[in-house]
Structure formats: structure tokens, C-alpha cells
Structure 1
Amino acid sequence: MTDHPDSPYTPQELAPQDGVGVPDPFLRLWTPHRMAYIEGENKPTSAEAGSGCPFCRIPSLPDADALIVHRGDAAYAVLNLYPYNPGHLMVVPYRHVADYTELTDAEVRDVADLTRQAMQAIRTVSAAHGFNIGMNQGEIAGAGIAAHLHQHVVPRWAGDMNFMPVIANTKVLPQLLPDTRALLAKNWP
């Protein structure tokens, strides 16, 4: 530890296990809800379909509880619990399938249609300037849940990347997820 100009303590008076230790100039935004993501809570431990897969389980829940924005014939749109930006949602086929090449023609059409509709709804609600749209195919490519295909639809705005995610590894979201879900569902085309 080093001396901090505003600290009334010297390094010898405080040990690392003494509370928070020596004060520093950083402010902290505590995000304990992210521990579920960090610790892999509810992340499937196998590639099998069923109740162990959140994307298989979500459609059995009421839309508001599951954060489902819209249900299609072969896929559904659901808000991401750990959004990169406000309105970040995913389009997920109902069928438990890992790879895009395994989708049926009907599933491909529904994923594409729901992606287009999601963009329209997000533009209506929040005037997004652009979008990042994509799938991470396989764990090595960054898929958090590699066993069940899902396409991300992430709205973007000019200047939406600020110091918080870069310096503090933190996102500031202006709206609670249930409120975002209700707004998008109401404005779905």
C-alpha cells in the first residue's frame, strides 16, 4: 500500500484485510447482479436440450417474467440479461440447435424476420443510429451458451462508448429490463 494524500492512515496502520484498505481516488459503482453471469449461474453444464438450457426453459415462462419481447413461429426475441447497450436482445430458435447450418429453412426465415422486426422496434422506441448483429458460433468464438444458437441485436448510438466500459468495465443502463421489454413489445411491428 502507498500513502494517499487524503488518508489519515499510514500504510503501517492499515492491513489489506482492514475493511476497504487505504482510500484511493476511484469511485465505485457496485453491480452485484453481474455475479450471476461471472459465476456462470444458470449456464448449462452440458450441450443437451431441456431445463438445464435457459434458452429452452425461457419459452415456457410468461413473457414478462422471461423478458420475451415477441414470439415467432420458429424463434423468439428476448432481452439479454447482461446487455451491452439498452435494448440489447437476442433472437433464439425454439429448437435446441448449436450451429447456424443446422437450422431449417423455416427457422432461418423466422430468425431473419425477427431480427428485422427487432431493429424496427428498437428504432421506434429509442432512435438507434445503428446495430451490431451477430452470432458467436462455438465457445471458442465467444458464445456464452454455445449449445443453443442465439443471434444478438445490439443497438448503437453515436458516442455510446464512453469511459465507463473502457475504464471501469461497467455499463450504465438508463432503464430497468422489464420496462424495456414492455416498451419494445408494445412497439413490435
Structure 2
Amino acid sequence: MSLEQLWAGWRHHYVSGATEAERRGEGRGCVFCELAASGPPSADNGVVHLDPLCFVVLNAYPYASGHLLVLPRRHVAELDQLTDEESQQLWRVAQRAVAALTRAYRPDGLNLGANLGRAAGAGIPGHLHLHVVPRWGGDTNFMTTVGGVRVLPEDLPSSWRRVVEAWDGPADEPA
């Protein structure tokens, strides 16, 4: 008997809850807006950086350790809804996120992108966000390819500490 799927049940609540609430036209509000208003950056809220126009948060369901989301603070869904100042700051903060991940993790490369709309893969299409994901040669192994799950070598609080320490300077420990 071959194993065709490995269980990743921790994703079910997130995927089904977001989809069902959207179908009913209800929800508790925007999780990203709630995070931006949740206080100063901390390991508890996952916020790494917060400024008047943008913020950075760890992805709660990361594709790799250190997976960050860069967002405008204002709730907008589309790139063309950003003011010029918001757009410039979003890219400045994205550059800082890339630099911090490079210092913290020393990846072989990074993915930087946005999923615009539900059909494009956006889990939360109502609040524009950029993904910044560190990548390494061979990081997509048999677990992802065959099992459909990812194995992360680091918990979220450890990722948060590592990224915050590297945000404006060198990381304490190499990856």
C-alpha cells in the first residue's frame, strides 16, 4: 500500500473557515487590519514591522521558514487603489523585507509576488499583500512533491525573532 497523501489537518480550519464565511457574506473583519491594529510588533501577533503606511507580518501558514507578508495598512484589494505614497512605501518595505530575510536566513533565492484575486490564489483577496519567501536549492523535496505538505525546521516565534533581529542589521546566527 503506497501513501498518497500526508495529513495536514491544521490547514483545514483556515481554508474552510475563510471560504464558508466569504460565501455567507460574513466574517469577523479583515485579519490583516486586525493585525495592523493589534499593537506593536511582537512574536504574539507576528508583526515584524509597522509604520504609518505599511506593515510586515509572518505568514501564519508559511511555505518556508521566514515567509513574510508585506501589506499596506489601509484596506485595499487592488494595486491601483494605492496612493503613490503607499505604493512607494510598499516597495521600500518589500526591499527591507528581502534584505532582512537575506541576512537572517542566507537563502539561495527569494520569491516575491502577489496573488491578486481569489482565482489567482489569494487566501485573503480583500487586502492586498506581497509574499516574500526565502528559498533554497532542493527545498521542494519529496514531502511537498509527493505528500503535499511542507516540513518547516523552525516554529513561528523563532522565525519572528530571527527576522526582527535582522530587520535593520546583521542576524546573530547563520541559517
Q: What's the CA shift string for 1:123-145, capped at 9, x where partnerless?
A: 11110111111111111211111
Matched, 1:117 2:99: no
The TM-score, its normalising length taken from structure 2, stands at 0.84
Structure 1 stretches of at least 4 aligned residues deviating more than 4 Å after TM superposition: 27-30, 41-44
- What is the root-mean-square deviation in Å for CA atoms of aligned residues? 2.3
Size of the aligned set, in residue pairs, is: 164
Matched, 1:130 2:109: yes
Residues of 1 paired with 2:35 and 2:92: CA distance? 20
Q: Answer with 1 or 2: which has the greater Rg.
A: 1
The TM-score, its normalising length taken from structure 1, stands at 0.78
Structure 2: 5+ residue stretches without partners: 169-175
Q: % of aligned pairs identical?
A: 40
Matching of residues 1-189 of structure 1 within 5 Å: 24-26=1-3, 30-41=7-18, 45=22, 52-62=29-39, 63=41, 64-189=43-168
Residues of 2 paired with 1:43 and 1:185: CA distance? 34
Report the CA distance between 1:154 and its aligned residue. Answer: 1.0
Q: SS where residue 112 of structure 2 aligns?
A: strand
| Higher RCO by CA contacts (8 Å cutoff, separation 6 or greater) | 2
Residues of 2 paired with 1:43 and 1:95: CA distance? 25
Q: 8 Å contact 1:44–1:54 — kept in the other structure?
A: no
Residues of 1 paired with 2:19 and 2:97: CA distance? 25
Higher helix share: 2
